[in-house]
Amino acid sequence: VSDPLLARLRDVVGAAQVLTDPDVLATYGTDWTRRFHGAPRFVVRPGGTAELAAVLAECHAAGVPVVPQGGNTSLVGGATPAAGEAVLSLARLDDLGEIDVVAGDVLAGAGVTLARLQETARAHGLRFGVDLASRDSATLGGMAATNAGGIHVLRHGMMRAQVAGIEAVLADGSVLSRLSLAGKDNTGYDLASLLVGSEGTLAVISRLRLRLVPDPPHRAVALAGFATLADLLATVAHVRDALPSLEAAALVREHTGVGAPLQGDWPLYVLFEAAGREPQELLLAEAVLDAPVPPGDAVVAADGPTQARLWAYRERHTESVNAAGVPHKFDVAVPLGALAEFVAKVEPGIRAHAPAARVITFGHVAEGNLHVNVLGVPDEAEHAVAESVLGLVAGLGGSISAEHGIGLAKRDWLHLTRPPADIAAMRALKAALDGRGILNPNVLFPAPG
């Protein structure tokens, strides 16, 4: 290709890091669910912040839009080109600094995977407060860009709460750098909080200083089956109150391919994990079994392999769903008081437009966060199904995106939960930092016209 931009990019990152082979482009252009795909104009893979800045300056000068991409596990089309943008792969920004045990933090490149950070932290008796099933592919930069949540939100908060410093490159190649926020800092706007969750539309995150927390020496995991949602919610509320160390509570509505973990067959399951400085097994067992409305059946695991088996039952949902078809994923949250109404109405609402659809729901019940996965949606019903699920959520005062962000998948419904003045303010901020509109221009905001 004799494109002069490509020649300049090859000068910046080396010829091997500017990819134009159509087969290679296709893998970068297709997200993990296969639902979102596009043909990247090219893929460029800078090897550090300086190269990233130079790449952006070149693309900015040429007016070529880019989609930043980490592990390509967005699930909402947040990292795949919708209209022939270039893909800016951050996989090579993978420097992981020494763990600072005293300060409890670490400096990590955007391309470092979550699994690598967790392994490194664990070797120092620490852990990173955000964890999720796609840890082997998800990168810290992508997780920050989307404010990822995962399985420890109840205890440690989402990604934004873990960021102690940020380095990011603006559309024109200038570098914002605040890699140490000294814990307590009120010197001007909190750009880190603004960039976290901005889905690559305001700047490209290149490095992060991330907080680490002590790895609790003891943990216990319980899986409980319930006959009704009311019973389930009563037990979750009891356990949550009884165990301040509780970390995760996952609602599992349909079993997808993992061997049955309990004797009976229950319509609803919850997975609990408690972790702390003292042994947790008895505490968790007591809290779950002595709940005013105890579960129909429950098992508590204190040993690692059994715990892993119980967690697999939760964590393998996403891949099981993906293996069964191309899922439409709705990552929503509703107030706990509205959860029963949501669960009762969501499937009938979907089936009104896609009668053959298969609905698999799981999530994080403590936060009212459900992952509604829909298989078998005909193309022509796609819009009506989304309208049905997201409209129901908005009507119940919930969030149309609890964890994954808006991406391409939900941009046409942003207005459901953000009033016009909010969207106008967001557009003004986007224009202020990316006046030429080259950073991920097709996600988050409603499609024009």
Instruction: Report the residue number, 184 or 259, with the smaller CB distance to a second copy.
Output: 184
Q: How far is CA 106 from the centre of its chain?
A: 21
Site for a second copy in 325-354 (CB under 8 A): 333-337
> What DSSP string describes 156-179?
H--GGGGEEEEEEE-TTS-EEEE-
Q: How far is the CB of 306 from a second copy (least distance, A)?
A: 27
Q: How far is the CB of 278 from a second copy (least distance, A)?
A: 12
111, 70 Cβ separation under 8 angstroms: yes
Q: How far is CA 152 from the centre of its chain?
A: 12
Tell me the C-alpha distance between 102 and 71, whole Å: 30
- Residue tagged 């300060």 (tokens): 103
203, 172 Cβ separation under 8 angstroms: no
- Residue 199 vs residues 142, 146, 147: alpha-carbon distances, Å: 8, 5, 8
Instruction: Report the residue number, 19 or 433, with the smaller CB distance to a second copy.
Output: 433
182 binds a second copy (CB under 8 A): yes
184 binds a second copy (CB under 8 A): yes
397 binds a second copy (CB under 8 A): yes
Instruction: Report the residue number, 63 or 397, with the smaller CB distance to a second copy.
Output: 397
359 binds a second copy (CB under 8 A): no
177 binds a second copy (CB under 8 A): yes
Span interacting with a second copy, options 28-36, 123-131, 341-349, 396-404, rule CB under 8 A: 396-404
Instruction: Report the residue number, 175 or 312, with the smaller CB distance to a second copy.
Output: 175
For strand 43-44 and strand 18-19, is the pairing parallel, antiparallel, or unpaired?
antiparallel
213 binds a second copy (CB under 8 A): no
Instruction: Report the residue number, 282 or 425, with the smaller CB distance to a second copy.
Output: 425
Tell me the C-alpha distance between 379 and 98, whole Å: 49
Determine which residue in the list 270, 403, 409, 440 makes contact with a second copy, applying CB under 8 A: 403
Site for a second copy in 369-388 (CB under 8 A): 369
425 binds a second copy (CB under 8 A): yes
- Count of chain residues binding a second copy (CB under 8 A): 71
116, 105 Cβ separation under 8 angstroms: no
- Contacts of 321-324 with C-beta under 8 Å, sequence gap 24+, read 321/256, 321/360, 321/373, 321/375, 322/32, 322/33, 323/257, 324/256, 324/358, 324/375
198 binds a second copy (CB under 8 A): yes
422 binds a second copy (CB under 8 A): yes
Site for a second copy in 93-152 (CB under 8 A): 102-103, 146-147, 149
Tell me the C-alpha distance between 411 and 446, whole Å: 5
Q: How far is the CB of 24 from a second copy (least distance, A)?
A: 31
- Residue 69 vs residues 34, 77, 138, 149, 242: alpha-carbon distances, Å: 15, 11, 10, 18, 41
Determine which residue in the list 39, 61, 62, 176 makes contact with a second copy, applying CB under 8 A: 176
Q: How far is the CB of 184 from a second copy (least distance, A)?
A: 4
Site for a second copy in 152-171 (CB under 8 A): 153, 158, 160-161, 170
Q: Is residue 288 helix, strand or coil?
A: helix
180 binds a second copy (CB under 8 A): yes
441 binds a second copy (CB under 8 A): no
Q: How far is the CB of 244 from a second copy (least distance, A)?
A: 8
Which of 79, 102, 78, 104 lies closest to 91, judged by CA?
A: 79
Instruction: Report the residue number, 2 or 186, with the smaller CB distance to a second copy.
Output: 186
Tell me the C-alpha distance between 143 and 158, whole Å: 10
Site for a second copy in 57-86 (CB under 8 A): none
414 binds a second copy (CB under 8 A): yes
Tell me the C-alpha distance between 141 and 114, whole Å: 10
444 binds a second copy (CB under 8 A): yes
365 binds a second copy (CB under 8 A): no
239, 286 Cβ separation under 8 angstroms: no
Binding mask 240-279 for a second copy (x = CB under 8 A): ----x--------------------------------x--
Instruction: Report the residue number, 80 or 307, with the smaller CB distance to a second copy.
Output: 80
- Tell whether the torsion through CA atoms of 230, 231, 236 and 242 is positive or negative: positive
